[in-house]
Structure 1
Amino acid sequence: MNSTDNSTDGSTALWLRRYHPATDRDVRLVCFPHAGGSASFYHPVSAKHSPVADVIALQYPGRQDRRREPCVTDIGTLADLITEKLLTQSEKPTVFFGHSMGAVLAFETAWRLEQKGTNAPRAIIASGRRAPATTRPETVHERDDDGIIAELKLLNGTDPGLLGDDEILRMALPAIRGDYRAIETYRCDPEDRAVRCPITVLTGDADPRTTLDEAAAWERHTEGAFRLEVFPGGHFFLATQPAAVNAQISRELEKIGKS
């Protein structure tokens, strides 16, 4: 493993985006986007926390400047690839933040890093996603384009301008479909998969895809402390309440900075 941040590696730079480079900070925040999301979703989060943390936003294949690359349609495979890239980074106290599909990826990546004994996060913030071992019969990835667009409108997390721009939307749909395939076919055994680090779960009280019980079930997946924070709003409550969500991130960064 390299002992310094591998910012000159072109392959690594495709995955790990630093919008406000601060590699000299003592703590790190790694952000995992939602299904169909991109690293740029976390640009405001990076701006907020880069004064105190080295903020990395992940860019999965198949979107934006990586749109010509095939999507990775299996959560385990994607977590393996992310783990490989994070192992190129210097080791420092780290918080993982993931929303929706990103919450599961943050969890799976943390578990892999813990198994390797290096670069594992000190804390996970899982936002807008039911616990890994909970299941629902979901087949959004099997719908036609109109069916996927209907799901995006239900969750209210896509820029209305994007939904109204047919050309841009058609470019984005393969990545959205691929991500939905990955998360909807994901399965996790709670007896086999728990991390040692604490988990904080953030959820909206009106999220159509996560009940409060399903959010609370994350507690089964950690051997450390567990905390559940409920916000007013739906699946993308973090977009309407950025200050409150950033306060949760600041709390965890401050905590690992003191440990």
Structure 2
Amino acid sequence: MSRFLHLPVAGHPTIRLIGFPHAGGATTAYFALSQRFPPDWDVMFLEYAGRGRRHRERLATSFDAVVEDALQAVDPWTDAPFALFGHGFGAAVARAVALRLLERGCRPRWVGSSGLTPGRSPVLDRLAGMDDEFMVDWMIDAGGIPEMVRTTPEFVALTARVLRADLQCLDGSGELPPLPVPLGVFGGDADPLAPAADLARWAAHCAAGCTVTTFPGGHFYLFGDQLPALVAAVTAAVRSAPWSRPGAVP
């Protein structure tokens, strides 16, 4: 079974956008987002192990394991001009995968980081310290997990287990070197997990230019009314970014 939610195009795509979901999230949350990109784009979101279409697999227990799994999944799809995008936990994964690909001589055209600031988030620490029911309720109310999860204790326990595993992996992500690829940073202006005032700090972690765009909304602004605006911003950023053919790293 494929590791991706994949909306392929006929023929060779002009751009391949590879995405990485948030902590506790599955690719189904990104289906509407995936459909909004230009028709000649190949859009795919990675399903992490232990959920969704990969629910029979074991959850990762370290950030390195998540990145290695993502790298294996992404590597065969770097034959076209490609960009990476992630939200929250997925933003950390996207940056780490980009750096690993560059080590192999494979350069992403652009990396998009949404809903994440450099360093530790005290709000995330408090979220991880909540009991299962409160933690899952917070995620549902914020818009990151479907309402139907509340229907049974089993769903709550399973969702909490996945979310805690992802937060543990994120906590172990550590400091990464500056990214030598254009970085687009996005966030909600009322996001308690990634305050808008802190997003500009990513400029110190990028050696190829960093832009910051904020939208009205909280942490999951991208699943609401701001979805079209985010897609337009990502599309413009990717199209304007330079790209070297596979195997070429300036």
- State whether TM-score is above 0.5: yes
Aligned residue in 2 for 1:166: 153
Say if 1:155 and 1:236, in contact at 8 Å, map to a contact too: yes
Q: Go from structure 1 to structure 2 and tell me whether the alpha carbon gap of 1:23 and 1:148 turns closer, same or farther (over 3 Å shift).
A: farther
5 Å-filtered alignment, 1:149-228, equals: 149-153=136-140, 155-188=142-175, 193-228=177-212
Aligned residue in 2 for 1:126: 113
In 1, Cα distance between equivalents of 2:11 and 2:85: 18
- What's the CA shift string for 1:58-85, capped at 9, x where partnerless? 0100102322211113222211221122
Q: Go from structure 1 to structure 2 and tell me whether the alpha carbon gap of 1:258 and 1:196 turns closer, same or farther (over 3 Å shift).
A: closer
Which amino acid counterpart does residue 251 of structure 1 have in structure 2? A
The one of 97, 113, 124 equivalent to 2:85 is: 97
Residue 139 (structure 1) shift: 5.5
In 2, Cα distance between equivalents of 1:257 and 1:165: 49
The one of 217, 240, 243 equivalent to 2:228 is: 243
- What's the CA shift string for 1:2-47, capped at 9, x where partnerless? xxxxxxxx5xx2x233134546212110111000111222212222
Which amino acid counterpart does residue 127 of structure 1 have in structure 2? S
Say if 1:27 and 1:257, in contact at 8 Å, map to a contact too: no
Aligned residue in 2 for 1:7: none
The one of 71, 84, 88 equivalent to 2:72 is: 84
The one of 31, 45, 49 equivalent to 2:19 is: 31
In 2, Cα distance between equivalents of 1:28 and 1:81: 19
Aligned residue in 2 for 1:3: none
Residues 167-176 or 90-99, more deviating: 167-176
In 1, Cα distance between equivalents of 2:242 and 2:29: 25
Which amino acid counterpart does residue 217 of structure 2 have in structure 1? G
The answer to whether the aligner puts 1:114 opposite 2:114 as a matched pair is no
Say if 1:40 and 1:57, in contact at 8 Å, map to a contact too: no
Residue 248 (structure 1) shift: 1.2
Q: Unpaired runs of 5+ in structure 2?
A: 245-250
TM-score scaled by structure 1?
0.84
In 2, Cα distance between equivalents of 1:76 and 1:22: 34
Residues 106-115 or 47-56, more deviating: 47-56
Residue 93 (structure 1) shift: 1.4
In 2, Cα distance between equivalents of 1:24 and 1:149: 41
SS of aligned partner of 1:194:
coil
In 1, Cα distance between equivalents of 2:127 and 2:171: 8
The answer to whether the aligner puts 1:234 opposite 2:234 as a matched pair is no
Which amino acid counterpart does residue 62 of structure 1 have in structure 2? G
Residue 179 (structure 1) shift: 0.8
In 2, Cα distance between equivalents of 1:173 and 1:22: 39
In 2, Cα distance between equivalents of 1:56 and 1:251: 18
- What's the CA shift string for 1:179-229, capped at 9, x where partnerless? 11111333215xxx1111111111111111112342111111211111101
Which amino acid counterpart does residue 54 of structure 1 have in structure 2? D
Residue 256 (structure 1) shift: 4.3
Compute the RMSD of aligned alpha carbons: 2.2
In 2, Cα distance between equivalents of 1:250 and 1:122: 12
Residues 78-87 or 234-243, more deviating: 78-87
Aligned residue in 1 for 2:51: 63
SS of aligned partner of 2:36:
helix
In 2, Cα distance between equivalents of 1:43 and 1:164: 23
Say if 1:94 and 1:256, in contact at 8 Å, map to a contact too: no
